[in-house]
Amino acid sequence: ERPNGIEVYFYRSHSEPLARAVQGELIEKQQLADQGIHFRSLAVVRSTWFPAVLAEGGFMMIPEQENAMRNPEFQERYARAVADGHKKYFRALRAR
């Protein structure tokens, strides 16, 4: 089965809450399948000491999703979801 939808990757345990927040906002704002969050040893999330995630907001190998990524409305919803996920994460930190 081909990957299809939205997934977020993290490596360090303190990044998991950020991954959950970003994934939740992406699922809420985009019309794509929830592929979940995943622990992976990826260079872009492994080498930092601060919380880091990699968000996959669609797959270019799927023509419909590639076309959607070219749409300014899709891009705006994606960017807004990532920003709102970060806001949610930082608000939760502040509330501790």
- Supply the pLDDT for residue 31: 82
Distance CA 34, CA 50 (A): 25
pLDDT at 58: 84
Per residue in 51-82, pLDDT (tens digit) is: 999 999 888 888 888 898 899 999 999 999 99
Task: Report how far residue 57's alpha carbon sits from residue 75's, in angstroms, rounded to the nearest whole number.
Answer: 10
Triad 67, 78, 25: Cα angle to 5°? 135
What is the pTM (predicted TM-score) of this model? 0.90
Q: Which amino acid does the sequence have at 54?
A: L
What are the residues facing 9 on neighbouring strands? 38, 54
Q: What is the pLDDT of residue 1?
A: 59
d(CA 30, CA 27): 5
